[in-house]
Amino acid sequence: MILAVASGKGGTGKTTVSVNLARVLNSKVLLLDCDVEEPNAHLFLNGVVQREEVITLPIPEVDESLCDGCGECGRFCQYHAIVSFGATPLVFPEMCHGCGGCMKVCPRQAIHEMDKRIGVVETFQAENIILIQGRLDVGVAMAPPLIRAVKAKLQNGTHAILDAPPGTSCPVIATMRDTDFVLLVTEPTPFGLHDLRLTVETVRELGIPLGVVVNRVGIGDDRVHVYCREQNIPVLLEIPDDRRIAEAYSRGHLIVEALPEYRELFERLVTVVFEHTTCDLHVAGSQGTNACALHNGR
Ligand code: SF4
Ligand code: SF4
């Protein structure tokens, strides 16, 4: 199973949920930290970097002696990363997605590619968890290619938990795409509800089953719960607003280890998600029978 843990804004407890879920799994699990601008899952795990791989993007470079300024490359590039005004084009590497299209359409073969470093993918081992995290270089804004490099480490037959970046933009979609299930972490506040609505719409666009984790239950109001009920979205876990959890977090400790009484909550969450993911697959092949609450959360 490939599970993405996401939230509409930062600081809701997304990484807390991801690392604690990974820890309570009984088997080997891949934990992919796709929050490549600010990876922090490693802060909660006692592991050392075993491998570091530099990730590059192929960026076009124009040979002035071959270019006749026809502008085909600029007309092709939907990201405006290569622009020609009737002369040798200018390339803006920070906007280039490395798709190679401009090189293909150039009628004079005046474009070749140069590798530009965008970041690294680091691999840690911490007991049952293999943590793979992307780390974008400072000043690089191109997160999706690095996220795809992190996701390329997924292994057939090994469960994976993907800690998504916050928000609903391209990096989040790059993370959630092709996952089996999305857990949306939110808080019971008006801001939490606002961001939850946006992320629910995004996940539904992608057609992935989803469930909600409400963190810091006890603050705010019940509007998140009312919304989930109205939308038929299952609330799969409620984490209380417990000062000891915040203290454990600030020390880089896992909740399930610092406060063992919470372990069962996370174990139950794993069970529920697994059951319903299996159920979802079962439902898909069973003439449309749909008794699965999570399935209805689409
Ligand atoms: S490689 Fe793709 S994104 Fe980059 S400049 Fe060429 S067409 Fe644009
Ligand atoms: S398509 Fe090739 S020849 Fe035409 S402007 Fe671009 S680099 Fe120059």
Does residue 36 have its Cβ closer than 6 Å to ligand 1?
A: no
Q: Is pLDDT above 80 for 115?
A: yes
Query: 284 pLDDT exceeds 60?
Result: no
- Map the chain to HEC letters: CEEEEECCCCCCCHHHHHHHHHHHCCCCEEEEECCCCCCCHHHHCCCEEEEEEEEEEEEEEECCCCCCCCCHHHHHCCCCCEECCCCCCEECHHHCCCCCHHHHHCCCCCEEEEEEEEEEEEEEEECCEEEEEEEECCCCCCHHHHHHHHHCCCCCCCEEEEECCCCCCHHHHHHHCCCCEEEEEECCCHHHHHHHHHHHHHHHHHCCCEEEEEEEECECCCHHHHHHHHHCCCEEEEEECCHHHHHHHHCCCCHHHHCHHHHHHHHHHHHHHHHHHHHHHHHHCCCCCCCCHHHHCC
93 in contact with ligand 2, CB cutoff 6 A = no
- Please report the atom of ligand 2 found closest to the CA of residue 62: 7
**Atom 4 of ligand 2, residue of closest alpha carbon:** 70
Inform me whether the pLDDT recorded for 294 exceeds 60.
no
For the CA of 63, the closest atom of ligand 2 is 7
Q: Is 99 in the pocket of ligand 1 (CB under 6 A)?
A: yes
pLDDT in tens, 44-95: 998 888 999 999 999 999 999 999 999 999 999 999 999 988 889 999 999 9
| Ligand whose nearest atom lies closest to the CA of 62 | 2
Nearest ligand to the CA atom of 94? 1
